[in-house]
Structure 1
Amino acid sequence: MAPKGGRWKSTYHNPWQVPKNERGEIERLERLVNKYERGQIQHVDWLDRLAFSAIDKVKEKECERLENSFPSLVVEFCSFEHRVVFQESGANFYAPTPVSLSNELVTVWDPELGRTNPSEHKQLKLARSLTRGIIDKDLKPSSNERKSLQRIIKCPPTRTILPDEKQLVWKFRFSLMSEKKALTKFLRSVDWSDIQEAKQAVELMGKWETIDVADALELLSSDFKSEEVRAYAVSVLERADDEELQCYLLQLVQALRFERSDKSRLAHFLVNRALSNIEIASFLRWYVVVELHDHAYAKRYYSTYDMLEDEMMKMIAREDGDEDGFRLWQSLSRQTELTAQLCSIMKDVRNTRGNAEKKIEKLRQLLSGVHSELTHFDEPIRSPLAPTLLLTGVVPQESSIFKSSLIPLRLTFKTANGGTSKMIFKKGDDLRQDQLVIQMVSLMDRLLKLENMDLHLTPYQVLATGQDEGMVEFIPSSPLAQIISEHRSITSYLQKFHPDEDGPFGITAQCLETFIKSCAGYSVITYIMGVGDRHLDNLLIRDDGCLFHVDFGFILGRDPKPFPPPMKLCKEMVEAMGGTESQYYTRFKSYCCEAYNILRNNSSLILNLFTLMERSSIPDISTEENATLKVQEKFRLDLDDEEAIHFFQGLINDSVSALFPQMVETIHRWAQYWR
């Protein structure tokens, strides 16, 4: 109770609080130790050893006495040689929320989290000091350091270089200048915020062994902001011929997103090459037009488009063969008018009531009547799919539609050389993903042929003329589902076109070889690309035995069907090779493994191209956070060539023996039948 007229006096005693008189000696000794560590007490070795021994005994005695009476918490803080004078300014410490009995995670703000340690940063700067440049020129890596450097150089372009690896590359930068593969790793090791270091890096880059075009593509990614580095990459690209450049054109247009200048060196390069090659000019124009829908980067693309138009118009005054700049640009512009008219026709055909025959009749009426100007163009129009081909008009009676909800048009055009060209026009379908996959098929076909391996692939042309429209080259062929339904087997179908009583399975040896090689090529490519939704309706065969895939709505491992196999190898395909014990099936596996290793050796090029596409709005790439890593996983770069062969043979066996996909395929066939 409180005394009358006085204040309340607390008589409460905290059992967890150690009395001052009992902890005083320990605190006094701790303060003396801190002074000793800061150098405020003179160091005497023999006396110090005796003193610290006595302090330890006092601590042990005190801890034994207090152990049963009071709980203890020992917190050991960092010790510094000098007095700490730095203090975090503007720190906003959050008090932790009360901890419940449910083991909730408590978040406490740490001002040093994610920040560079000042002492480590200073040490790094001293180690990389530019004053050591003369000494570094004579440095040679030891045996272990050379192995570490080679391991870093061989890393895929997607791998992040660690700080100690960057330090190692910088240290031996002069000895690495003769290795062209090391330049990209060196440029990733540079601290571009340091003006002097960046200046020296640019100087060394100019003296480095010239890199390959595949590595130059890496320098055009979003990771490199330096205009000097990007200009150097363009100078390397200038060595590529037109055929090679077209393999990368789609990605180079995407690289314009990362340019810091509206009129960049890359944009000038693309426009100049377009002026000398009509195919590059046509495709560049369409790629840029499609990207103009992306408002975040529209200014960059408008700049390139305007530059292309201006340079084309400047060609009016001079003759280029039989066509001057104005007529050339006009021919490309009329491609847009043609697609607009086709969109209008498709709308009218869709609105026509009735079956497919009624819609086909309506299409031909429109082409012969309201849109009769399409049957004979006043001036030839360059084909959007093959710009070297001049189209003179549509043939109404040879045009039709496909039985699909989007009613794609199958159009036959007359050409200036007296032939015909067939193409499919789609509206309401995003073809940019198909365009990318076919570009990769074309690129991989080129890489394989450079190694004298022709797998008879069919990289047909696909061109997106908008985000929901485009054209596809029509290849005369039949779906496997139709072939099996009408001929019961692939073998019977091939016997119809290439019979040979003395040949394997009654087929000419060349036709069977073509079928086996094309199966191998697409098995490898669709596995690497992670193509999904494979069924017998999007696997087609040409009369010459070439098998190819269409409809790439699912890539990078996405698949609407559960438990998809690594690759599409249905039993009908294996039976056409003579079964799993046949020598032709063994040959098929051999082609697969050889092609897989060739493409693995070119993985850096393929990964760099995918990296440039990551900011695009292509469906499966924009929704996938690590699209490039998905592709990298398929290459299994951790294996050598022999291990990769065993790995891929295992994939083939798993795909052939998978039972669930066969059940799904049967269900799909019944669904198509009832539809």
Structure 2
Amino acid sequence: MGSNEPSLNDRFFLSCDINLPLTVRIDGLDGEYPASSASDLDRELTADSANSVLDDSRPVPELYVECVLYLDGIKFGLPTRTRLASVENPFCWNELVTVSAKIRDLTQDAQLALTVWDVSQPRIEIAVGGSTLVLFNRKDRLKTGKQKLRLWRGCEADGSSPTSTPGKVPKHERGEVERLEKLLNKFERGQLPRMDWLDRLALREIENVKLEESKRTGKTNLHLVVDLRTFEHPVRFQELGSHMLTNPPIFSENELVTVGDPEVGRANPSENKQLKLARVDRAVFDRDLKPNSSEKKALQKILKHPPTRILSGDERQLLWKFRSSLKMDKRALTKFLRCVDWSDAQEVKQAVDLMKKWAPIDIADALELLSPVFESEEVRAYAVTVLGRADDDEFRCYLLQLVQALRYERSDKSHLTFFLVDRVVQSPELSSFFRWYVAVELQDPSYARRFYCVYDILEDALKKTPAGVEQWENMIRQTELTAQLCSIMRDVKNARGGTKKMIEKLRQLLTGLLSELTYFDEPISLPLDPTVMITGIIPSESSIFKSTLHPLRLTFRTKVGGKCQIIFKKGDDMRQDQLVIQMVSLMDRLLKLENLDLQLTPYKVLATGQDEGMVEFVSSTSLAQVLGDYKTIINFFQQYHADEHGPFGITAACLETFIRSCAGYCVIMYILGVGDRHLDNLLLTKDGRLFHIDFGFILGRDPKPFPPPMKLCKEMVEAMGGAESEHYGRFKSFCCEAYNILRKSSNLILNLFHLMAGANIPDIASDPEKGILKIQEKFRLDLDDEEAVQFFQSLINDSVSALFPQMVETIHRWAQYWR
């Protein structure tokens, strides 16, 4: 029977269809390397270094391999390093390295630059040798299997095209040894037939030839052996997006799809040529080119896309075509930069030149340019210059995300690093927050080296002035204080007898062994608010909360004779709470800029470690306790703001504050997708402000089934006079007005969350892309303002009429009682 199935020899994979990371196993060095003395190699490596002096007492070599991916001669992603290897394990790493790119992203001229570094000398890194591996051969097939690469002694690997450090010796430079090495590589990869008795003779003879060559030249070639991923069939290069399959394959982690017909997926040569010609720089033509009416509509539609939207091929082409006419529109720059082919050096030059002539962009757009999407150093440096326009108040709103943006820089000492340090050292408050944000990131092993570098740069910058030295010493005392508080918590938790015994233990420690904490030798700036100088803890006014983690409630004396209270937690990741409160503070600022004050309470939160932190204590009562003690919210307000002539027997100001704060938190908690809302984490102050605490679930996560869109219980509606009252109508009006104001700043909020994608915050780290899209969905950017008002009013009605959450609330109250 005949078959249409292709033969095994005809089968291949297309590189653009392989959604797997590029990996390479670094095996080890092949050849002699001096192990314990500064022999000829050291002298050879340092012959051109006038400032390097090595003696014969050189320590045991410690080597690592640095791997950098280059696409068309341009560095792509961050370098990847192996562990250190020493002579005890004779320079054999046998380590799998994953490059920051997928096989489908590779270009035809993709190559890996591998450099072996020796770091045995203190504060000196010596390049043992470098080699560049071209990933596709002359037949456009991806190289696989073992590769023995020649190391160019004393040189760092060159990623340019053509490279000056090729792993394979060029034909015109090859001698007999190189010819035999090439054959030996093929033999080891199984590309040559094997015959045991003849192979042994041949291998012995090859070793003799290499030995004779080393005696004649006086030196031995050094090679780096690496192992590339192998596939069932050959992988042929195909540019991503240049072919269309009738049924696009879906890949799992360990699944590849075989394409049988070699004609399938082959691009139309005339179309390819047209696309290339469309991007040829015709400066005079492009400068005068104007879009017609339909093209203008298409461009305006593109400019309204949120920053999370991936541009299609047609959209990218349209932006590139009219790039000159768009440069006066500040909204268009980020979209234009997304359409640039950053692997094309000519396009990159045009884009960077045009970027410098573009209309000044907003700070929100500059934050987008610092996201992981943009790797170009010129683009990121441009974004930094735009950030310089922000005043201190605005800069403080973004500082947390700007520290996270350091993860996406190409080097430890980037433009952003020095900009942040130069900016924060001008303000003791900013420098204190910056240092804590960096200190927390030091605990992330993946980026510890980078943040240690930032930490050192900050220290050096502060110590240049006497005031800075004093400020740095104050920061060190802050760290010592938090360490002592952690120690107190450990001791207190060991006390038996419940919360009352723990409180006694706390006060005993503060008046006994740790009495120095009651009166500091020198005032310390409070980490939560560096403008407040504290002088000691008041034991009699400090306590412990009755909860699982038993957080401390500490009362400090201040330098001006006042008091301040904080909550210190250990055993809980405070970074998520810190992010939510930062967003509440930012949204409060955005609303006030539009003359809408919703009486929010953005209390301060500071993570001082990955499982510890401080929270500002706000005198308030939980809604559960209010309803338990006073039956209604109005009865609670009547105790403090009674007015027989006011609405419901309370002052109009108190009711107005309550209505506004309810509206503000309903909108913000809805946008951020805050879950696990119950009456114990909704608090009321005596002056009428309602606010939320404990943000263990965000971005739509909720431990309770069928949660309402927002937390608006019937007791809150009753406090406004019911669903038919004019006060409830004002509440809904405030909600809709706030919602539309915040929708205008959706790009800013989405960009800030995008910068947090690399942080190890639980509800973001699980799926950053999905979390950001959930926030985008909440903004309903497809609606105009009037439609958005109708949409939000329907959300309020759905939340008020939700009966099931009331059942859950009853269950939760019983659980709290028995606990």
What TM bracket, shorter-length normalisation? 0.7 to 0.9
* Map of 1:623 onto structure 2: 766
Name the aligned partner's letter for residue 333 of structure 1.
I
1:655 aligns with 2:802: no
- Match of residue 281 from structure 1: 431
Aligned equivalents of 1:477, 1:519: Cα separation in 2: 15
Distance 2:751 2:556 in 1: 37
SS of the counterpart of 1:174? helix
The match for 2:733 is 590
Once the two structures are superposed, residues 69-125 of structure 1 have per-residue CA deviations (whole angstroms, 9 ceiling, x without a partner) of: xxxxxxxxxxxxxxxxx976469549xxxxxxxxxx995346899997765443222
Contact 1:400 / 1:409 at 8 angstroms: preserved in 2? yes
**CA apart distance, 1:416:** 0.6
Distance 2:265 2:472 in 1: 53
What CA distance in whole angstroms lies between the structure 1 residues aligned with 2:354 and 2:256? 49
How is 1:530-569 mapped onto 2 (pairs within 5 angstroms)?
A: 530-569=673-712
Instruction: Check if 1:327 corresponds to 2:470.
Output: yes
Matches of 1:140 and 1:521, distance apart in 2 = 45
Amino acid at match of 1:503: G
1:129 paired with 2:280, answer yes
Aligned to 2:333: 183
Q: Report if aligned partners of 1:614, 1:627 keep a CA contact under 8 Å in 2.
A: no
Matched to 1:169, the amino acid is L
Residue 385 of structure 2 corresponds to 235
Separation in structure 2 between the aligned mates of residue 210 and residue 459 of structure 1, nearest angstrom: 32
Instruction: Note the C-alpha offset of 1:196.
Output: 1.3
* Aligned mate of 1:166, from 305, 316, 329: 316
Task: Give the whole-Å Cα distance in 1 for the aligned partners of 2:525 and 2:722.
Answer: 47
Pick aligned residue for 1:467 from 597, 607, 610: 610
Counterpart in the other structure of 1:264: 414
SS of the equivalent of 2:721 reads coil
1:672 aligns with 2:819: no
> Which residue of 497, 511, 515 maps to 1:372?
515
Deviation sequence 1:453-473 (CA, Å, 0-9, x none): 000000000000000000000
Aligned partner of 1:199 in structure 2 is 349
- d(CA) in 1 for partners of 2:298, 2:264: 29
Shift of 1:649: 0.5
Q: Which residue of 2 aligns with 1:150?
A: 300
Residue 439 (str. 1) matches residue 582 (str. 2)? yes
- 1:241 offset after TM fit, Å? 0.5
User: Could you tell me whether the CA contact under 8 Å between 1:530 and 1:556 is conserved in 2?
Assistant: yes
Do structure 1's residue 108 and structure 2's residue 258 form an aligned pair?
Answer: yes
2:491 is the alignment partner of 1:341 = no
* Alpha carbons of structure 1 residues 441 and 667: separation in structure 2 relative to 1, 3 Å: same
Q: What SS is found at the alignment partner of 2:557? A: strand
1:643 aligns with 2:790: no
* Offset at residue 148 of structure 1 (A): 0.4
TM norm structure 1? 0.83
- Superposition deviation, residue 325 in structure 1: 1.6
- Partner residue of 2:598? 455
| d(CA) in 1 for partners of 2:803, 2:716 | 15
User: What is the rounded CA distance, in whole Å, between the counterparts of 1:414 and 1:183 in structure 2?
Assistant: 51
SS state at 2:549 partner: coil
Structure 1 residues 112 and 467: CA distance shift in structure 2, 3 A:
farther
Which residue in 1 is equivalent to 2:670? 527
Whether the 8 Å CA contact 1:219–1:229 is kept in 2: the answer is yes
Per mean C-alpha deviation after superposition, the further-off stretch among 650-659 and 118-127 is: 118-127
Which stretch has the larger CA shift, 115-124 or 657-666? 115-124
Deviation at 1:134, TM superposition (A): 1.4
For residue 602 of structure 1, the aligned residue among 732, 745, 748 is 745
Matched, 1:632 2:776: yes
**Distance of 1:245 and 1:643 partners within structure 2:** 33
Report the 3-state secondary structure (helix = DSSP H, G, I; strand = E; otherwise coil) of the residue aligned with 1:377.
coil
Larger CA deviation: 353-362 vs 573-582: 353-362
**Matched letter for residue 506 of structure 2:** L
Aligned residues of 1:432 and 1:467 also touching (Cα < 8 A): yes
One-letter code of the match for 1:531? V
| Inter-CA distance 113–370: structure 2 relative to 1 (3 Å threshold) | farther
Q: 1:268–1:506: structure 2 CA closer, same or farther, 3 Å change rule?
A: same
Cα distance in 2 for residues equivalent to 1:618 and 1:121:
44
Question: CA offsets per residue over residues 200-242 of structure 1, 9 Å max, x none?
Answer: 1111111100000011000000010111100000000000001
Would you say the 8 A contact 1:523–1:569 is kept in 2? Answer: yes
Cα distance in 1 for partners of 2:604, 2:795 equals: 30
For the 8 Å contact 1:93–1:109, the answer to whether it is kept is no
2:782, 2:546 → 1: CA distance?
46
- The answer to whether 1:252 aligns with 2:402 is yes
Counterpart residue number, 1:51: none
Which of 221, 238, 256 is 2:371 aligned to?
A: 221
Q: Deviations over 1:468-488 (max 9, x none)?
A: 000000000000000000111
Contact 1:224-1:230 within 8 A present in 2 as well: yes
**Between 419-428 and 192-201, the greater mean CA deviation after superposition:** 192-201
Instruction: Give structure 2 stretches of 5+ with no counterpart.
Output: 4-137, 143-230, 235-254
Cα distance in 2, alignment partners of residues 554 and 507 from structure 1: 35
Measure the CA separation in 2 of the matches of 1:441 and 1:648: 19
Aligned identity (percent) is 68
Measured at CA, do residues 559 and 113 of structure 1 come closer, stay the same or move farther in structure 2, by a change above 3 Å?
farther
Q: Equivalent residue of 1:465, what SS?
A: strand
Q: Could you tell me which residue of structure 1 aligns to residue 92 of structure 2?
A: none
Amino acid at match of 1:335: Q
Task: Return the alpha-carbon distance in structure 2 between the equivalents of residues 400 and 256 of structure 1.
Answer: 39
For residues 134-153 of structure 1, the C-alpha deviation after alignment (integer angstroms, 9 at most, x for no partner) is: 10100110000000000001
Do residues 304 (structure 1) and 454 (structure 2) align?
yes
Partners of 1:551 and 1:118 in 2: CA distance: 59
Letter of the aligned partner of 1:608 in structure 2?
N
3-state SS of 1:425 partner: strand
Q: Could you say which structure has the higher strand fraction? A: 2
CA spacing shift, 1:583–1:225, aligned 2, 3 Å: same
Query: What SS does structure 2 have at the residue aligned with 1:410?
Result: strand
1:435 Cα deviation after fit: 0.2
Change (3 A) 1:225 1:499: same
Give the Cα separation in 2 of the matches to 1:350 and 1:133: 72
Whole-angstrom CA distance in 1 between matches of 2:666 and 2:784: 20
Tell me which structure has the larger Cα radius of gyration: 1
1:291-347 alpha-carbon deviations (Å, 9 max, x no partner)? 11111111221111100000111113xxxxxxx221111001111000000011111
| Aligned mates of 1:307, 1:88 — CA distance in 2 | 46
Instruction: After TM superposition, give the deviation of residue 355 of structure 1 in Å.
Output: 2.2
Q: Which amino acid aligns with 1:236?
A: V
> What residue in structure 1 maps to residue 559 of structure 2?
416
The one-letter code of the counterpart of 2:426 is S
Alignment CA distance shift 1:113-1:210 (3 Å): farther
Aligned residue for 1:404, secondary structure, equals: coil
Gaps of 5+ in 1: 1-13, 18-85, 95-104, 317-323
Q: Residue type of the partner of 2:539?
A: P
Residue number in structure 2 paired with 1:504: 647
